[in-house]
């Protein structure tokens, strides 16, 4: 995260903003949301969340990326502000959206490099967690979905171990098998 040396401020049309958030809300569930990444590009506010991205025409100055709680962004689709045009203001690490001030992390443009496309298989999300640092996942706003995938994998592994226990297969054997599969994927068990 970088310190915000100056204020970032954008104006967006309320109707377009709410419509864009509603499109995101149709594909991303609040508990899966992770963080939304907001950035300005070519006169548009881009909002990336949970593998989806929407764009809203915007004007102003926004020289970085703001990471905001994704569930809060989705809540704005159901309970939109009333002020039009909507002013998004980041000052001191808090974006102010029509009298609502929420914590955010401010970072340089391009810090959010990773994304999880909608309907990405569990194994691919697990590989993202294996191949990237928590810091890189967090900057991209996908740390929460990766951690949820890891918890799901642990649950599935424990169920498999319990099912295979009568055969004398130990939980650590199942865990090792699953970890190897995540690391090696299609090459698992093949001779070179």
The model's pLDDT over 153-179, given as tens digits with 9 standing for 90+, comes to: 999 999 999 999 999 999 999 998 998
Regions in the chain scoring below 70 on pLDDT: 1-7, 30-33, 91-102, 110-111, 117-118, 186-192
Number of H helices, E strands in the chain: 6, 9
Tell me what pLDDT residue 118 has.
66
Tell me what pLDDT residue 151 has.
92
Tell me what pLDDT residue 46 has.
87
CA dihedral 73, 76, 77, 80 (to 10 degrees): -160
108: which strand partners?
64
Tell me what pLDDT residue 162 has.
92
User: Residue 34 gets which letter from DSSP?
Assistant: -
- In the chain, ranges of CATH 3.10.150.10 domains: 8-108
Tell me what pLDDT residue 62 has.
83
pLDDT tens readout for residues 176-192: 899 888 888 754 554 44
Tell me what pLDDT residue 69 has.
81
Tell me what pLDDT residue 72 has.
83
Tell me what pLDDT residue 92 has.
60
Distance CA 37, CA 154 (A): 28
Distance CA 127, CA 74 (A): 27
Tell me what pLDDT residue 191 has.
47
The fold adopted by the segment(s) 8-108 is DNA Polymerase III; Chain A, domain 2 (3.10.150)
Within 10 angstroms of residue 26's Cβ, the number of other Cβ atoms is 9
């Amino acid at each position: 995260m970088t310190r915000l040396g100056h204020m970032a401020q954008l104006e967006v049309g309320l109707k377009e903003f709410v419509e864009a958030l509603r499109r995101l809300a149709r594909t991303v569930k609040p508990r899966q949301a992770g963080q939304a990444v907001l950035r300005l590009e070519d006169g548009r506010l881009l909002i990336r969340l949970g593998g989806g991205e929407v764009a809203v025409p915007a004007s102003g100055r926004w020289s970085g990326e703001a990471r905001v709680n994704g569930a809060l962004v989705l809540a704005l689709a159901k309970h939109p502000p009333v002020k039009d045009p909507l002013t998004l203001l980041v000052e001191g690490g808090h974006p102010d959206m029509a009298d609502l001030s929420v914590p955010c992390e401010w970072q340089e443009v391009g810090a959010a490099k990773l994304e999880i496309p909608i309907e990405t298989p569990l194994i691919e999300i697990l590989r993202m967690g294996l191949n990237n640092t928590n810091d890189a996942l967090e900057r991209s706003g996908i740390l929460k979905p990766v951690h949820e995938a890891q918890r799901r994998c642990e649950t599935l592994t424990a169920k498999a171990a319990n099912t295979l226990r009568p055969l004398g297969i130990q939980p650590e054997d199942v865990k090792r098998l699953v970890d190897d599969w995540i690391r090696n994927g299609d090459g698992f068990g093949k001779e070179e």
